[in-house]
Amino acid sequence: MFKKRGQGLSMTVIVVAAIALLVLVILAVIFIGRMGTTAENVDKCKGDCVYSPEECTEMGKYTKVTDDPCDDESQYCCISIA
């Protein structure tokens, strides 16, 4: 009676879609990996680590005491401001 024709996706479309998906996964892995190193660098003290806020003023510069972590938790991070 009626002849049925297949209306599936061609093999070329499936291969291109698989390659595109693979590229997206690789880019996502690279992006997520770099986010971790960026977060570590943002958390570090960019100035000088001192043991008291008074030491910041003794450096002879206008400084600002921040909450950025130093290696020793009892230290303060002093960043020069201009």
Domain boundaries, the chain: 10-43, 45-82
Question: Is pLDDT at 1 greater than 60 in this prediction?
Answer: no
Confidence of residue 22 (pLDDT cuts 50, 70, 90): very high
What average pLDDT does the structure give for the chain? Answer: 77
pTM assigned to the model: 0.43
Of 26-30, 58-62, 72-76, the range with the lowest mean pLDDT is 58-62
Report DSSP letters for the chain, one per residue: -PPP------HHHHHHHHHHHHHHHHHHHHHHHHHHHHHHHHHS-SSEEESSHHHHHHTTS-EEEE----SSTT-EEEEE--
Mean pLDDT along residues 9-20: 91
78 C-beta neighbours (distance < 10 Å), count? 26
pLDDT at 26: 94
10 Å CB burial of residue 63 (0-12, 13-18, 19+) is buried
